[in-house]
Amino acid sequence: MPSHAPTPAPTNGHVSHWFDGPPVPRPPLPGSRDADICIVGAGYTGLWTAYYLKQADPSLRIVVLEARFAGFGASGRNGGWLSGLVPGDRERMARQYGRDAVVAWQRALNDAVDEVIDVAARENIDAGIVKGGTLEIARNPAQATRLAAAADAESRWGVDGVATLTAGESAQRIRLAGVLAAYHNPHCARIQPASLARGLADTVQRLGVDLYERSPATEIGPGGVATPWGTVRAPIVLRATEGFTARLPGLRRRWLPMNSSMIATEPIPQRIWEDIGWQGRETLGDTAHGFFYAQRTVDDRIAIGGRSVPYRFGSRLDRDGQVPRRTITRLRQTLHSILPQVADVPIAHGWCGVLAVPRDWEATVDFDPSSGLGWAGGYVGHGVTATNRAARTLTDLVLGRSSALTELPWVGHRSRGWEPEPLRWIGVRGMYLAYQAADWHEFRGSAGTSPIAVIADRIAGRPH
């Protein structure tokens, strides 16, 4: 007789699906000590920076401090898009810094995709990397208009290889429901993000970097970093705290911790994959205002993400990735709307995390030689690749090396702070409610972008 046992509820939180259970943490800082460079944060930015600094000068005494464990933040929770996406608005940055500088920035990010792949191979980091590019789709006329404009913009900014696809051509890659048009950008690879973070952590330790987990920074300033277990005294201190920056003294309004959520299915049977396709392991996204992002995982699941509760009052953070159950339901509905073939495949896991958003939605890299303080971040959700270029740039700045990277437009860029509460919460909450309304309007026949979204973009200062 057939079984009618209820489907188990998805695992909720526990950081993310990308970790096979909680990793065994490294020891905390054993007491006060001296170093040449102290890096706060063992996500991609901090780990890549330690890697390039140690490559440049093996004699450097480098300490990395991490509040929980390497990859605990966005580096171990993201959608796994190693893409050339710019963490900001190219048009706005061009008005401020010149078109040539922004074209160079875009090319540097595209090049970084291959650099990450090369380093992973050289250092034996198995991050499930497949460079299949990105497939962007449109499912209504308004989305199709934006998609065409986005494909044209990629060409104008010197992104080579972008191909516009008909619905039929898109289906040859992935058989999705309701696609009107699509384009393929080759500058992206699917990765297992936590594997990359943990592999980088092991690599920098092997190179001689001291990495201490369970060692939260309680004070960061010129000359050192204080923790509950002691102080690291160092003439150079680099902050790589991304979405957790608002928790640090004096930085609550510097970058807003924006929330993003994901779900992952159980492994999908081969007979269903034969119907879906997706043999190229492209990353997948759409041009809705409340967009989704997805990948076919190393173990043949589908992981898909999007916004849910975009911001928590007072810049509060999630509890180890726990996500509202309504978010899991909403993401499941999105998945089933584009891939009805998986309607009977259970959802295994739901989780969330935060990314850092500056007030003008532009990332930054900076170093002040007079104080010895440096930082990088504010990647607005496009940090998997950008962290690599930011780290190489920060390395050149710290070592006083003038290079093409130190001339890129995000170096030294400053954003004004976010508004105080409750204006911050009201504004972000209102922006995403407006985007939901705009998507509803467009799916019901609006030929062009909903004016609701246009107004929300202008008020928020968000790229569009």
Q: What is the pLDDT of residues 138-149, one digit of tens each?
A: 999 999 999 999
Residue 436's pLDDT is: 84
Identify whether 381 is part of a domain. yes
Identify whether 275 is part of a domain. no
Identify whether 403 is part of a domain. yes
Identify whether 155 is part of a domain. no
Residue 3's pLDDT is: 45
By residue range, what is the domain housing residue 36? 11-82+194-255+360-407
pLDDT of residue 367 exceeding 60: yes
pLDDT of residue 4 exceeding 60: no
Separation of alpha carbons 387 and 44, rounded Å: 6
What type of residue sits at position 255? W
Residue 5's pLDDT is: 52
Identify whether 177 is part of a domain. no
pLDDT of residue 333 exceeding 80: yes
Distance of CA 71 to the CA centre of its chain: 12
Taking all residues of the chain, what is their mean pLDDT, rounded to a whole number?
94
How many residues in the chain? 464
Residue 310's pLDDT is: 87
Contacts of 459 (CB under 8 A, 6+ apart): 427, 431
261-297 pLDDT, tens digit per residue, is: 999 999 999 999 999 999 999 999 999 989 999 999 9
Contact indicator for 225, 38 with CB cutoff of 8 Å: yes
Identify whether 316 is part of a domain. no
Identify whether 235 is part of a domain. yes
Separation of alpha carbons 188 and 145, rounded Å: 23
Identify whether 419 is part of a domain. no
Q: Retrieve residue 206's tokens.
A: 């092997």
415-430 pLDDT, tens digit per residue, is: 999 999 999 999 998 8
290-325 pLDDT, tens digit per residue, is: 999 999 999 999 999 997 788 999 999 999 999 999
Domain count, the chain: 1
Residue 451's pLDDT is: 82
Which CATH number does the domain housing residue 389 bear? Answer: 3.50.50.60
For the ranges 75-84, 157-166, 193-202, 445-454, the lowest mean pLDDT is seen at 445-454
